[in-house]
A and B are shown apart, each in its own frame.
Chain A
Amino acid sequence: MSIVIETQNLRRCYGRGVTLVAAVNGISVSIEQGEFTAIIGPSGSGKSTLLNLIGGLDQPDEGRVLLQGQDIAGMTGNAISDFRRDHIGFIFQAYNLIPVLSAHENIEYIMLLQGVPKLNRQARVLEMLGLVGLKGLGHRRPAELSGGQQQRVAVARAMASKPDIILADEPTANLDSKTGAELLDLMRQLNAELGLTFLFSTHDQMIMARAQRLVHIKDGVVEQDEVR
């Protein structure tokens, strides 16, 4: 199997002087194509920071992030924007969607940025809506969707751009446990059926149970990396 993303001795510190905190303190992990990995750890352990670095939302102080061998640390401006657009799918904790756009338009948005031709876009939006079980709800604005449905649209949007990896920082944190479990089942199913690579963070036991690989981190370092 090929490695999609690899971090090498990644370090990211906040503050300075005596208040200096190494949120990520030398993490090296490799994510392989088709993996379904959870990053777990207590609050403040550095999960979000790590995901932000991997997704090109933040710059490391040390170390490298390699996407299929290419270092993304150091990319700026349009280059890093376009990199995220084309290679990374993002699902955030909540309010992922642009409120003034319908579910359909939210999914279409990223393809518009990519310059996908209109016909392909329409077809793909419908396909994505079908995959996340929201057929027929495309016209609704985010405010007219439940929290779980909104997260599904976010999943659909993340897939739509055909990224190499989908990063999700606590995607279920704002959902009740049943809805959260359903969302994870959906992601797991997409992973199994379409071979999409997922990397998500959580501190929910029930969510962890659904992961195929668990990366335990604490105080910015990997404590344990278990594949089940």
Chain B
Amino acid sequence: MLLVQLAFRNLFRNGRRTFLTCLLITSSLVVMILMDGLILGMLGVMVGGITQTLEGEAQIYKSGFRDRFDSTLYLASPESILTVLEEDATLTAYAPRVIVPAVIGSSYNTLGGMVYGVDPEKEIATSRLRQALIEGEYLTNNPRGLLMGRLMAEKLEIGIGDRVVLTASAVDNNELVQGLFRVSGIIEFGPKELDESFVFIPIGAAQALFHLGDGLHQIALRFKDFQDANRSDLALAREIQEEGVEFKGWLALQPSVGAMLEMTSYATLIIGVVLFLFASLGVVNSIFMSIYERLYELAIAKAIGTRPAFIGGLILLEAFALAVISCGIGLPIAFCLMTYFAANGLPLGGTMEFSGVVLPGRLYPELVWYQFVQFPLYVILLTVVAAIYPALFAARIAPARSLQKAL
């Protein structure tokens, strides 16, 4: 095809300009893909920071429990629910918990806090409890073992092996109960409110101490695909449906996270639009330069009988080819960078805490297919759209005037 042939030869005519314009389009594409990957990675860390630290990706609890952590609202006979969880294929792990507010005392000081009765084995796959251990030993089957947050230990001025007394009201008759434990390990999750107010004891000891029997306050869940937790048509949620039992995914548990996700995707969109707007301006400029350079020959072509649409089409085709070439260069580059950073992480220069989540020192971008399919299509489309105005200009060249002017 004549048009295609002309377009390509014209592109390779001013190699440097074509190269620079390609560079502009290519780098916009690469930046866009990287940015999207990093934002997805960061969201993953933030969502993961919340769901994986302790909360889980979904929770099952007695209606009303989460409102005020009222320990009298508990699942009295959770066996049937646990059987369902045990057999569910969408889950990777679950952890039953007893959660009771208590006064935590050492020989020097007392503090208000939360006592978590946990199954040490099940927590390993569900939360970061085990990883959070910075000193001493993880919970064993020793019923007197206790894990304490670092900040709380500092305030209570105690360390490994020291005695701790837990005082709380029993869930059945509101009478005060007390238990004696020994600090077996110090933990540090990162977020301050976790590290200064939580202690963890074996679930059996907690159930006995607070008169719960087999009762549970909460079951935290981990899914194979964390997005499953928010699905409204989840089979699991239906199966455990029972009077007074709540099932909530992380979006429902943490509405602020949902708002943050929404805001972030909005911000990505705006940055993307701005980025491509600048790139488009560059493209328009470069196309206009190429038209002005060829004004005389375009005028000749028009004079000898080339239709306006052909000239306009030529300019659009040149832009299209430019965009396709740029994407052809940009995609492998973006892919290499993404796979490299996905494997090695992008150093952020130190950890930071952001809305209750500790961001690690390295960020791992997330590679998603749409970045390599949709983004290039947008880029090509935008480049061609940007070329419409120059194309119209070229199509409207008045041969007599341009020939006269150019000589």
Contact = CB atoms under 8 A, between A and B. Distances in A.
Nearest to A83: B305
A159 B296 CA distance: 21
B296 A110 contact: no
Contacts of A58: 400
B114 to A, nearest CB: 76
A85 B2 contact: no
Contacts of A98: 6, 297, 300-301
B303 interface: yes
B231 interface: no
Contact of B308 (A55, A77, A83, A95): A77
Contacts of A85: 304-306
B308 A57 contact: no
Interface residues on B, range: 20 to 34
Nearest to B401: A58
A81 B407 contact: no
A36 B146 CA distance: 112
B404 interface: yes
B224 interface: no
B122 interface: no
Contacts of A90: 300, 303-304
B302 to A, nearest CB: 7
B403 interface: yes
Contacts of A84: 303-305
A201 interface: no
Interface string A42-73: 00000010001001011000000000000000
B402 to A, nearest CB: 10
A81 B301 contact: no
Contacts of B400: 52, 57-58
B9 A92 contact: no
A100 B307 contact: no
Interface string B1-25: 0100010011001000000000000
Nearest to B12: A100
B178 to A, nearest CB: 92
A55 B305 CA distance: 11
B300 A92 contact: yes
B305 A57 contact: no
B300 A96 contact: yes
Given A57-B399, A57-B400, A110 B9 contact: no
Nearest to B294: A99
A113 interface: yes
A81 B305 contact: yes
B296 A82 contact: no
Interface in A88-112: 88, 90, 92-101, 109-110, 112
A93 B407 contact: yes
A204 interface: no
Contacts of A86: 305
Contacts of B399: 57
A100 B11 CA distance: 10
Given A94-B407, A109-B2, A157 B308 contact: no
Contacts of A100: 6, 9-10, 13
Contacts of A99: 13, 297
B96 to A, nearest CB: 75
Interface in A118-177: 157, 161
A57 B301 CA distance: 12
A82 B307 contact: yes
A118 to B, nearest CB: 12
Interface string B275-317: 0000000000000000000001100111111111110000000
Nearest to A158: B304
A92 to B, nearest CB: 6
Nearest to B403: A92
A2 interface: no
Nearest to B3: A112
Contacts of A57: 303, 399-400, 403
A205 interface: no
A19 interface: no
Contacts of A94: 407
A220 B296 CA distance: 26
B313 to A, nearest CB: 13
B31 to A, nearest CB: 33
Interface of B: 2, 6, 9-10, 13, 296-297, 300-310, 399-400, 403-404, 407
Given A94-B407, A98-B301, 9 more contacts: A57-B303, A81-B302, A85-B304, A85-B305, A88-B305, A96-B300, A99-B297, A101-B6, A113-B306
13 contacts: A57-B303, A77-B308, A78-B307, A78-B309, A84-B303, A85-B306, A90-B304, A92-B403, A93-B407, A95-B296, A96-B300, A98-B297, A100-B6
Top 6 A-B residue pairs of the complex, sorted by shortest distance between their CB atoms: A85-B305, A100-B9, A57-B400, A58-B400, A84-B305, A52-B400
